[in-house]
Amino acid sequence: MSDFTVDISQNEYLPEGGDDVNAIITVTSPDTGLAAPSANTRGAEIIIIDCSGSMRSPRTKIEQARAATAAAVDVIRDGVAFAVIAGTEKAVPIFPLDYGLAIADDQTRYLAKQAVSGVLPRGGTAIGQWLRLANTMFGTNPAELRHAILLTDGQNAHETPQQLDEAIALCEGVFSCDCRGVGTDWEVSELRRISSALLGTVDIVPDPDGLAADFAAMMENAMGKQVADVALRVWTPQHAAVRFMKQVAPTVEDLTGRRSQTGPQAGDYPTGAWGASESRDYHLCVRVTPAAVGQEMLAARVSLVVGSDVVGQGLIRALWTDDEALSTRINPNVAHYTGQAELAQAIQEGLEARKRGDEDTATAKLGRAVALAEQSGNDDTARLLAKVVDVVDAASGTVHLKKKVDDADEMALDTRSTKTVRTKK
């Protein structure tokens, strides 16, 4: 397998007494040379459809969910293991019925679509049960690349938050999961908890008519993955420690708490599965013990690890100086992504304040978000913000809350708040 590239962007100069070293790590997979999928890595897919009673209204919701599932099944490659689950207050397999996975070919894809066409909505919603069944079914197959699509239209009303958290914890590291909410009666924070822990995406599909295209695109993306369980391994010297590790592009995802210790001074951060020609950015902050002016140290060594193989590596340095021009220069990539992380947080806190009726905080936070989106050129987020606030002056973040906001617009801003743009070249 060809090596990944690991590029480090940082200002290595610290002032006297300085102890925080920041760097942006850009990881890019090769366009060719990724290992061809073996029998174990070529993948397993499970589609989980909400079949609770609320999917009856409007009727197009369940009809489009069936059509979307069929569209996703059509994209599954021959040889990939797959299944479809119906979710209510319990979870049951729609196809195959034996609680295992079928191997995709023309016949099994046809049978799966036939089975899905007869699904009727009834019952409640217990998403943790759905995840537990997916976890069990994935366990029947040796595939290393495991991915699920989860669709719901409602809140997790038939189990406790703790039960959902326990189910999520059970699935961590077993499979990735892309979550979609259709309509506006579901809870963004619930699906974000799942997608974040399971290294997937979350988004709203306000109109059921958009489901089929979205499902097909998600499955197409999953079919492009070729390497499972890639990790960023960070080694730090004695008297240094990682303050945080975040993915910052294409989305913001805090990986700090996901570290697993691999040695006395090294730990791994999961990045999930990769396909060819993918590029992602990570922000690493390491706290070091300050040294004397003129001294240099290796603050961290970052390795990209697949299984037991190191497939890419980069070094992060610290050099103490009394030259203020050098030590106060902020690396543009670090500055950009610090702003993008703040943008996501400002949106989520602003929307939360708006729900509570705290208009002052909501105005301040969403105004700050508008300014950050303007500064960074994040036009997609700026457009979503403009549906929730009236922008008086984008540069200064002067806004007024809109009196009436469409639920779908507010939820779209919330679900997509973590999407980032890369630094302008």
291-299 long-range Cβ contacts below 8 angstroms, 24+ apart: 291/318, 291/320, 292/320, 293/16, 293/320, 293/321, 293/322, 294/320, 294/321, 295/319, 295/320, 296/320, 297/237, 298/237, 299/21, 299/236, 299/237, 299/240
Q: What is the CATH number of the domain that holds 64?
A: 3.40.50.410
pLDDT of res. 66: 97
Dist CA 296 CA 260 (whole Å): 28
Do residue 344 and residue 386 come from a single domain? yes
**Per the domain annotation, does 420 fall within a domain?**
no
- 101-105 mean pLDDT: 97
DSSP state of 238: T
Task: Identify whether the C-beta of residue 374 lies closer than 8 Å to the C-beta of residue 382.
Answer: yes
* 3 state SS of 64: helix
Checking if the pLDDT of 1 tops 70, the result is: no
State which of 274, 290, 324 marks the end of a domain. 324
Which residues on adjacent β-strands are paired with residue 393? 398
Cα angle 421, 422, 425 (rounded to 5 degrees) comes to 130
Do residue 182 and residue 273 come from a single domain? no
DSSP state of 31: S
Count other Cβ atoms within 10 Å, centred on residue 9: 18
Quick: pLDDT tens for 47-73: 999 999 999 999 899 999 999 999 999
Q: Which residue has the tokens 């506006």?
A: 184
Checking if the pLDDT of 38 tops 80, the result is: no
Do residue 166 and residue 232 come from a single domain? no
DSSP state of 174: T
Tell me the percentage of the chain whose pLDDT exceeds 70: 97
Of the candidates 180, 130, 128, the one whose C-alpha atom is nearest the C-alpha of residue 159 is 128
- Dihedral angle sign, alpha carbons of residues 158, 159, 160, 161: negative
Band of residue 3 on the pLDDT scale cut at 50, 70, 90: confident
- 185-207 mean pLDDT: 97
Do residue 240 and residue 319 come from a single domain? yes
Q: What are phi and psi of 326, to 5 degrees?
A: -80, -45
Do residue 309 and residue 401 come from a single domain? no
Do residue 203 and residue 337 come from a single domain? no
Dist CA 16 CA 293 (whole Å): 6
Dist CA 416 CA 257 (whole Å): 22
- 93-112 mean pLDDT: 98
Neighbour-count burial for 102-117, b at 16+ CB within 10 Å, e otherwise: bebeeebbeebbebbe
Q: What is the CATH number of the domain that holds 377?
A: 1.20.120.1690
- 378-390 mean pLDDT: 98
pLDDT of res. 70: 98
**Per the domain annotation, does 253 fall within a domain?**
yes
**Per the domain annotation, does 423 fall within a domain?**
no
Do residue 337 and residue 355 come from a single domain? yes
pLDDT of res. 270: 97
**Per the domain annotation, does 425 fall within a domain?**
no
Do residue 85 and residue 187 come from a single domain? yes
**Per the domain annotation, does 78 fall within a domain?**
yes
Checking if the pLDDT of 422 tops 70, the result is: yes
Do residue 362 and residue 318 come from a single domain? no
Q: Which residue has the tokens 């990944």?
A: 4
Quick: pLDDT tens for 207-247: 999 999 999 999 999 999 989 889 999 999 999 999 999 99
**Per the domain annotation, does 267 fall within a domain?**
yes
pLDDT of res. 229: 86
Task: Identify whether the C-beta of residue 95 lies closer than 8 Å to the C-beta of residue 61.
Answer: no
Residues in the chain: 425
Dist CA 343 CA 367 (whole Å): 10
Do residue 208 and residue 235 come from a single domain? no
Strand order from edge to edge, sheet including 279-288: 5-10, 20-28, 279-288, 240-249, 253-254
Checking if the pLDDT of 34 tops 70, the result is: no
State which of 223, 253, 280 marks the end of a domain. 223
Q: What is the CATH number of the domain that holds 24?
A: 2.60.40.3670
Q: What are phi and psi of 364, to 5 degrees?
A: -65, -45
Mean pLDDT of the chain: 95
**Per the domain annotation, does 167 fall within a domain?**
yes
Do residue 61 and residue 163 come from a single domain? yes
Neighbour-count burial for 126-141, b at 16+ CB within 10 Å, e otherwise: bbbbbbbbbbebbeeb
Checking if the pLDDT of 423 tops 90, the result is: no
**Per the domain annotation, does 421 fall within a domain?**
no
Residue-range definition of the domain harbouring residue 248: 5-34+228-324
Strand (E) or helix (H) holding 147:
strand 146-152
State which of 223, 254, 284 marks the end of a domain. 223
Q: How many distinct structural domains can be found in the chain?
A: 3
What stretches of 50-200 show up as alpha helix (H) in DSSP?
60-75, 106-117, 127-138, 161-171, 188-197
Task: Identify whether the C-beta of residue 270 lies closer than 8 Å to the C-beta of residue 258.
Answer: yes
Band of residue 21 on the pLDDT scale cut at 50, 70, 90: very high
Dist CA 284 CA 232 (whole Å): 11
Strand (E) or helix (H) holding 309:
strand 309-321
Checking if the pLDDT of 360 tops 70, the result is: yes
Do residue 210 and residue 73 come from a single domain? yes
Dist CA 5 CA 312 (whole Å): 6
Of the candidates 283, 273, 275, 280, the one whose C-alpha atom is nearest the C-alpha of residue 231 is 273
pLDDT of res. 251: 97
Task: Identify whether the C-beta of residue 204 lies closer than 8 Å to the C-beta of residue 181.
Answer: yes
